[in-house]
Amino acid sequence: MQIDLHTHSTASDGRLCPSELVARAANAGVEVIALTDHDGTDGLEEARNAAIAAGVHFINGIELSVTWNKRTVHIVGLNFNPEYEPLKAGIRALQDFRETRAREIASKLDQAGIKGAYEGAQRFCGGKMLGRMHFANFLIDAGHAKNVRNVFKHFLVNNKPGHVTGDWATLEDAVSWITGAGGVAVIAHPARYKLTRTKLRKLIKDFIAVGGQAIEVVSGSHDINETKTMANHASDFDLYASAGSDFHDPDFPWIKLGKMPPLPRQCRPVWDLFL
């Protein structure tokens, strides 16, 4: 079965609107999909309706931004009630921070001689969630970089123009908003954080201590070795394993919908909890 539990739409920094995303996934053979937009649930209803129309099983999802030990990590929530009030309040706080941060990013780019970035980024933002990807689109459009990868090498990251430090949710709050809403919390793309083995295991322990249950083992941003490593961590800590492409854009050749390898055999699939 093709299952994709990590995708983005225009409700955050994806290129396709929720219904286009679901239709494209259905065409690619995806049978179960979660929409996991950054810090928001606005796309869920449209995606669910499109999934019903396409005969795809739909799971509510979100990808929450978290600051853990001064680093940004992402926690995916799956199969929760989006009307849960503490989750909604948490999302509002994250969106407020995104707004403040966007102003700061723009003022830092301005200091570096790049004018009009706030308005420029907003032109690429369909929803409420203004993120670095929208600034990336602006920077490319304005001729400062040739592609997204290039932007995240030369701008918006540590020691580069437009970098602003994250001040996101705590790990404890993010996990409790998800579990309080009846959902499952998942550590997103664990290999992306470039943590040492010891630090990653500390993150996993802290995550479990506050009620986290799963980790992405198969991810669009993991290679085969990283997948094996994460499967071993999942076994060691008795975590459920998730699989998600982290699809954003049909023009990003490195992540395709419906093309993920299966979970390693040792894994307990996270979807056993809700399918």
Residue keyed to tokens 């999942």: 234
* 139 lies in the binding site for ligand AMP (CB under 6 A): no
Residue keyed to tokens 């099983």: 57
Q: How many CB atoms are located within 10 Å of the residue 2 CB?
A: 18
Residue keyed to tokens 């793309």: 189
244, 7 Cβ separation under 8 angstroms? yes
Q: Which of residues 246-265 bind ligand AMP (CB under 6 A)?
A: 248
The H or E element that residue 44 is part of is helix 44-54
- Site string (119-158) toward Mn ion, x via CB under 5 A: ----------------------------------------
User: Which stretch, 103-111, 129-137, 174-182, 209-217, contacts ligand AMP (CB under 6 A)?
Assistant: 129-137
Which one of Mn ion, ligand AMP, none interacts with residue 242, CB within 5 to 8 A by kind? none
Torsion-angle region of residue 4: left (phi > 0), alpha (psi -120 to 50) or beta? beta
Which one of ligand AMP, Mn ion, none interacts with residue 152, CB within 5 to 8 A by kind? ligand AMP
* 132 lies in the binding site for ligand AMP (CB under 6 A): yes
CA geometry: angle 235, 244, 82, nearest 5 deg: 100
CA pair distance 19, 237, nearest whole angstrom: 36
Between 146 and 149, name the residue whose CB sits nearer to ligand AMP: 149
CB of 90 to Mn ion, least distance (A): 17
CA pair distance 168, 234, nearest whole angstrom: 25
Which one of ligand AMP, Mn ion, none interacts with residue 233, CB within 5 to 8 A by kind? none
User: Which stretch, 76-84, 108-116, 128-136, 178-186, contacts ligand AMP (CB under 6 A)?
Assistant: 128-136
Lookup: tokens for 177? 């908003």
Give me the residues paired with residue 34 across strands: 59
* 15 lies in the binding site for ligand AMP (CB under 6 A): no
Choose, by CB under 5 A, the member of 4, 11, 13, 219 that binds Mn ion.
13
Between 135 and 267, name the residue whose CB sits nearer to ligand AMP: 135
275, 247 Cβ separation under 8 angstroms? no
Between 80 and 155, name the residue whose CB sits nearer to ligand AMP: 155
CB of 21 to ligand AMP, least distance (A): 14
* 37 lies in the binding site for ligand AMP (CB under 6 A): no
Backbone phi and psi for residue 63, each to the nearest 5 degrees, phi listed first: -125, 105
Q: How many CB atoms are located within 10 Å of the residue 141 CB?
A: 13
Between 38 and 269, name the residue whose CB sits nearer to ligand AMP: 38
User: Which stretch, 13-21, 90-98, 119-127, 160-168, contacts Mn ion (CB under 5 A)?
Assistant: 13-21
Q: Which of 105, 113, 101 minimizes the C-alpha distance to 142?
A: 113
Q: Residues interacting with ligand AMP, by CB under 6 A?
A: 13, 38, 65, 131-133, 148-149, 152, 248
